[in-house]
Amino acid sequence: MNIKFSYLYRDFSNYKKFNEIVFLNPTNKAINEVRSFIEAHLIDGSWFYSSEWQVPDLHFDNWDSEDDHFLHEFESVEETYEESTNNVTIEEFLSIIKEAKNHI
């Protein structure tokens, strides 16, 4: 099964924009292991920088200096039969997270 990573951008006015990425899982990495690894690398238990994790930035089209910030919010990971949305494996994604500059 592949692994779906779900996240969002929420501005200070609570407007939200969501995204999901389905990663290949050729080694059948356990979902609990993936979830624990991601949670261990979040800022304050919820946040990450999309640029550092190399996932699409979800900011709205017009930057508002009073409403916008740079952090994205982790929502969930789950196993899925859906096709991969890229050619990245979950192991490669976790390696990207591990190398991020601002991980905890």
| Domains of the chain by residue range | 2-99
pTM of this prediction?
Answer: 0.93
Q: What's the whole-number average pLDDT of the chain?
A: 94
User: pLDDT tens digits, residue range 22-42?
Assistant: 999 999 999 999 999 999 999
DSSP string, the chain: -EEEEEEEEE-TT--EEEEEEEEB-TT---HHHHHHHHHHTSBTTTEEEHHHHT------SS--TTT--SEEEEEEEEEE-SPPSSS-BHHHHHHHHHH-TT--
Mean pLDDT of 70-96: 97
Q: What crossing angle do the helices spanning 90-99 and 31-40 adopt, rounded to 10°? A: 20
pLDDT at 80 over 70: yes
User: What confidence score (pLDDT) does residue 6 get?
Assistant: 98
